Amino acid sequence: MRAIISDIHGNLESLDNVLADIKAKGADEIFCLGDLVGYGPNPGECIDYAREWKIVLRGNHDEAVVNEAYGFNPVAREAIEWTRSQLKPGLFSSGKKKRNWDFLKNLPPIHQEDSFVLVHGSPRDPTMEYILRADTEDLLGDVPAKIKDIFSRFPRICFVGHTHDPGIITEESKFISPREMENSSFTLQEGAKYVINVGSVGQPRDGDNRACYVTFDGKTVTYHRVPYDFGATKKKILSVPPLDPRIGERLEYGR
């Protein structure tokens, strides 16, 4: 059984609890869909963990930290600049800091294994494009052109993150949230295709402030929600002037 996680965003308190939950569930591999960093106050510690996982992909915040923050709002851009200042090694930096920076720089944008594709955003644009819940809606009840095109670009299952909004999209363009599933589990039908958004570990935005991730046994996707001390993370964020207080305040509300 695999655990698939995404969008940690430097939130160490949340990640610690999620990793403990993954271990308790008996998952033997961890796949991460990107955004290890950005927003949160502990980017280096989260990278330390990530270097031990099976697969780690590049998210848009990871990409922006090692390159430039194009197309980000001011709050996210300031967090990215601060994160870069914490991670980018200098001439006399420790070996671990240099290894972490090289790890972040060299994250791949996509991973394909048999009929499964894993990306941060979308198979059309692995780091930047969002597949939103709203994209599944059409005034005439048809499958929107964007959804048709996305589904044409992978063989059977595509795991994504990026939106921080967990749920499964079917070929018929139906969005199924974990709340609509029995016991937060969904069994995949043979031959059907799905986009599976695994939610966010570090910044959930579906109105539930608990961390979110999935386990997958090859047939069934199960969503897990893990409480953590968001107050401790908020306090850290508020102690770092370059980080906008709203980054910490939103954690309580899952928005």
Tokens 């959804």 found at: 147
CATH fold group of domain 2-253: Purple Acid Phosphatase; chain A, domain 2 (3.60.21)
Residue pLDDT, tens place only, 110-162 = 999 989 999 999 999 999 999 999 999 988 889 999 999 999 999 999 999 99
User: For the chain, what is the mean pLDDT?
Assistant: 96
Q: Domain segments of the chain: what residues? A: 2-253
Q: What is the pTM for the complete model shown?
A: 0.96
| Structure confidence at residue 91 as a pLDDT band (50, 70, 90) | confident
**What is the per-residue pLDDT for 148?**
97
For residue 168, what are the β-bridge partners?
A: 176, 196
Percent of the chain residues topping a pLDDT of 90: 95
Reported as a single tens digit per residue, the pLDDT across 49-59 is 999 999 999 99
